[in-house]
Amino acid sequence: GRSQIKRLALYLKDTSKISKIYCSDLSRALESASIIAAELGLKEIIKPEFRERHFGKWEGMTFDEINKLYPNDFNQWAQDPLRFSPIDGESTADVYNRVMPVFNLLIDNHHDQDIALLSHGGVNRVILCSLLCMPLEHIFRIEQNFAALNIIEFHASYPVIKLLNYTA
Give the closest residue to 153 by CA, choosing from 94, 101, 105, 113.
113
Per-residue pLDDT of the chain (168 residues; tens, 9 = 90+): 789 999 999 999 999 999 999 999 999 999 999 999 999 999 999 999 999 999 999 999 999 999 999 999 999 988 888 889 998 999 999 999 999 999 999 999 998 899 999 999 999 999 999 999 999 999 999 999 999 999 999 998 899 999 999 997
63-83 pLDDT, tens digit per residue, is: 999 999 999 999 998 888 888
CA of 58: how far to CAs of 61, 64, 74, 101, 106, in Å? 6, 11, 10, 26, 31
Element (H or E) spanning 124, and its range?
helix 121-131
45 plus 109 within the same structural domain: yes
Cα–Cα distance for residue pair 103/50, rounded to 1 Å: 9
Domain boundary among 89, 112, 147: 89
Q: Long-range pairs for 56-62 at CB < 8 Å and ≥24 separation?
A: 56/85, 56/86, 56/87, 56/88, 56/89, 56/90, 57/86, 57/87, 57/88, 57/89, 58/86, 58/87, 58/89, 59/89
Q: pTM of the prediction? A: 0.91
- Residue 2 is assigned to a structural domain of this protein: no
107 plus 149 within the same structural domain: yes
Domain count, the chain: 2
The one-letter amino acid code at 99 reads V
Q: Which domain holds residue 69?
A: 55-89
Cα–Cα distance for residue pair 144/120, rounded to 1 Å: 8
Report pLDDT for 95: 97
Give yes or no for a contact between 94 and 82, defined as CB atoms under 8 angstroms apart.
Answer: no
